Amino acid sequence: MWQQFFQGFFGDFTNMDLSALNNQFNFQQNGQMGGQLQGLMQQNMADPRVQQAYRQYQSQGGPMSFEQFVHGWIATGGYTPEGIRQYRETEDLNQRRERVAHENLRAAEAQRGQAQAENSAHFAHNQSIAGQNLMGQAHYATPMGPQTYSYTLPPGYHQTPQGYIFVNARNEYFLVGADGLHYPIQQVPNLPFH
């Protein structure tokens, strides 16, 4: 019941496409920044100083369009040496941040996958235990290693693929050795994962 509430309220996190969420966020951010950039572009394109600088740039054989030139003008503070240095440093920093964010995203996806695998393993284990309990079976520690026997056997001797076991009137189990001696065996609790 609570799982349905949380899935309805928060969505199913196991099937989330984190890359798509990141792309959607970037698209929204770019849309907001795009409007601001357009305003700056129009303002600078109308500035006579920028127009004069572009004409000089063109006379020296510069290949950029006016829009590209203005974009660079804004990004570098008028193509000053300090502005160009800051622009390059900012670009390097942004690229490093993007790499780190991408690596963190991949790590989160790997953790989610591992958590799903562990959950699946725990579920399978718990289902196995439940099935054994419904069939009246339990694990016993024996000298041959762990074995599965019915815990509903009546008193007496019982043949198993591993040999004979004896159940006394107090429902205690014993492995009958090749030497005819009875060795006590203990039931190992079938505890589900927490």
Neighbour tally for 147: CB within 10 Å: 19
Mark whether 108 and 125 lie in a shared domain: yes
Q: Is residue 9 part of a domain?
A: yes
Mark whether 96 and 38 lie in a shared domain: yes
pLDDT of residue 15: 62
* Nearest-angstrom CA–CA distance, 112 and 14: 8
Task: Report DSSP state, residue 163.
Answer: E
Mark whether 11 and 51 lie in a shared domain: yes
pLDDT of residue 4: 44
Residue-range definition of the domain harbouring residue 73: 2-131
189 has pLDDT over 80: no
Q: Is residue 194 part of a domain?
A: no
Mark whether 124 and 142 lie in a shared domain: no
pLDDT tens by residue, 82-106: 999 999 999 999 999 999 999 999 9
Q: Which amino acid is at 138?
A: A
CA 88 to chain centre: 34
CA atoms within 13 A on the CB side of 193: 11
Mark whether 161 and 93 lie in a shared domain: no
Give how many domains the chain has, as a whole number: 2
9 has pLDDT over 50: no
Sign of the torsion angle spanned by Cα atoms 123, 126, 132, 135: negative
Q: pLDDT band for position 7 (50/70/90)?
A: very low
Mark whether 72 and 98 lie in a shared domain: yes
pLDDT tens by residue, 11-25: 555 566 667 766 777
Mark whether 14 and 46 lie in a shared domain: yes
Determine which of 26-30, 64-68, 117-121, 148-152 has the lowest per-residue pLDDT on average. Answer: 26-30
185 has pLDDT over 80: yes
